[in-house]
Amino acid sequence: MGGSGSLAVAAARLEGFAGQRLRTPGLVVALIGPDGWRHEFALGVSDLASGRPLGTDALLPIASIGKAMTAVALLREAQAGRVDLDAAVHDHLPWLPLPTPFGPIRLRHLLAHTGGIVAGLDASPSPIVEALALAETTPGWPAGQHYYYSNVGYALLGLVLERVAGCSYAQAIGRHVLDPCGMTASEAVTTAQAQTRAATGHLQLAGGGFVPAPWVPTASGGGSTLCTAADLGRFLRALVAGDPALLDPATHQVMMTPALGLPDGEGYGYGLGVMIDTEAGYRRIGHSGDAPGFGSHAYGCAETGVGVVALYNGPWRRRWHPPPACGRSWSTGWRCCGRRRWDWSCPPIRHLPGTSTTITRPPPQRRGSFLLGSRSAVQGHRRGSAQAGRRVRVAVRPHPLNPTAQPLRCPSAADAIPP
């Protein structure tokens, strides 16, 4: 796309498109381009109850996009010689009860979600509580072998950042990210005071109506920052265009390199705090996030310097894709039988066409008792009590990363949601 004129035309078309298809109470978008070009627009309301319009200066949680900020802060500490990314997490958090039967889990592994941590509490705003809850969580494989997204891994990194920076997580994010990028309207962490400035989050009921979402103060390295769209656009420009240069070129290259490479076909790779994929031959860098009642996306093109930020105060929805031949979708979780499940509902097994077996669904198990992921255990099988013992024919084979994982039946059509 050539020049600011073309970008302005594209921005106008995008704003019209979003206005016609708005499915959330409010949406604010920031676009960035080369040579400092920027454009913001907002649609909908900040709060459904009052009908207050959502402005371009609205403050919203960015959720897991904050992982990129945690990564940048740690990388800057590494540049200053205060931390070694190849150090074991236990070197900085000796009290951490996380077992390490396969050897040390290093900071670099946690930054790339390759630490082997296959479950986390994901239910407490306190990173220390999240860390202590890992006492009975044995890693699923040696660190560095496989990718498995881990919120608690970044909660640990936030605690390490506090230790090496000698200050609170909020102060470290301010020092390393907000101040250098000129993000003066942002809040480093989620506090009760910030709620008075922020838009209201909304959860959607089964009947389609919206209710206010709970506000949960937190200072976790997994994502606790609040930003305006314009401020987040400044951070995105720093990531994709080096303006301002938060990292030296060598460190920036390490951050933007997928730790395990890019997958064949559909999917993304993960560097140090950023998702990386290719679209139409261009490399796309960024992150998405979700918090109760809020969603966020920030992606930019490294070759062109063009990027987009979208923040909204409604429930987060995963992008849908047709299931690939292997049976797994990177964007919607595990699939089988050609139906789309509600988030995280498919069990951690692969389903192969042409073969079948009869299994008995076990009774519901407690959190963390599955070999892969507590979300599947807790969220995906809430209805298990009523259906325990039901016999069904499904095509299954063990998950390749944990061959001993016990297969569970595919959720029934009643569990499915339409594409």
Confidence of residue 198 (pLDDT cuts 50, 70, 90): very high
pLDDT at 384 over 70: no
pLDDT at 81 over 60: yes
Token pair 């016999």: residue: 391
Same domain, 80 and 150: yes
Same domain, 259 and 194: yes
User: By percentage, how much of the chain surpasses pLDDT 70?
Assistant: 75
Nearest to 170, CA basis, from 151, 201, 196, 193: 193
- Domain with residue 277: its CATH number is 3.40.710.10
**How high does pLDDT run on average in the chain?**
80
Residue 391 domain-assigned? yes
Same domain, 246 and 357: no
Q: Which residues contact 193 (CB under 8 A, 6 or more apart)?
A: none
Domain end among 258, 292, 317: 317
Q: How far apart are CA 205 and CA 212, in angstroms?
A: 11
Supply the pLDDT for residue 353. Answer: 38
Residue pLDDT, tens place only, 88-103: 999 999 999 999 999 9
Domain end among 317, 350, 380: 317
Same domain, 218 and 338: no
pTM reported for the whole predicted model: 0.77
pLDDT at 367 over 60: no
Average pLDDT of span 32-57: 95
Residue 13 domain-assigned? yes
Residue 116 domain-assigned? yes
In DSSP notation, 345-381 reads -S-SSB--TT--EEEEPPPP--TT-SSS-HHHHHTTT
pLDDT at 230 over 70: yes
- The first and second tokens of residue 334, run together, are 């595990």
Same domain, 151 and 265: yes
Same domain, 49 and 130: yes
Q: How far apart are CA 96 and CA 102, in angstroms?
A: 16
Supply the pLDDT for residue 340. Answer: 33
Same domain, 340 and 277: no
Supply the pLDDT for residue 3. Answer: 66
Same domain, 72 and 221: yes
Same domain, 16 and 129: yes
Residue pLDDT, tens place only, 324-357: 333 333 333 333 333 333 333 333 333 333 333 3
Average pLDDT of span 206-223: 94
Residue 83 domain-assigned? yes
Same domain, 354 and 296: no
Residue ranges making up the domain that contains 378: 327-419
Same domain, 244 and 371: no
Q: Which residues contact 348 (CB under 8 A, 6 or more apart)?
A: 334, 370, 371, 372, 373, 376, 399, 402, 405
CA-CA-CA-CA torsion sign (328, 330, 332, 334): positive
Q: Which residues contact 13 (CB under 8 A, 6 or more apart)?
A: none
Supply the pLDDT for residue 318. Answer: 52
Q: How far apart are CA 134 and CA 143, in angstroms?
A: 16
Domain end among 317, 348, 364: 317
**Lowest-pLDDT choice from 188-197, 231-240, 261-270:** 261-270
Number of domains in the chain: 2
Q: What are the angstrom distances between the C-alpha of 382 and each of 40, 376, 379?
A: 41, 9, 6
Q: Which residues contact 93 (CB under 8 A, 6 or more apart)?
A: 131, 156, 159, 160, 163
Residue pLDDT, tens place only, 85-143: 999 999 999 999 999 999 999 999 999 999 999 888 888 899 999 999 999 899 999 99
pLDDT at 153 over 90: yes
Supply the pLDDT for residue 190. Answer: 97
Residue 322 domain-assigned? no
In DSSP notation, 127-185 reads HHHHHHGGGG---SS-TTS-----HHHHHHHHHHHHHHHTS-HHHHHIIIIIHHHT-TT
Amino acid found at 47: D
Same domain, 100 and 48: yes
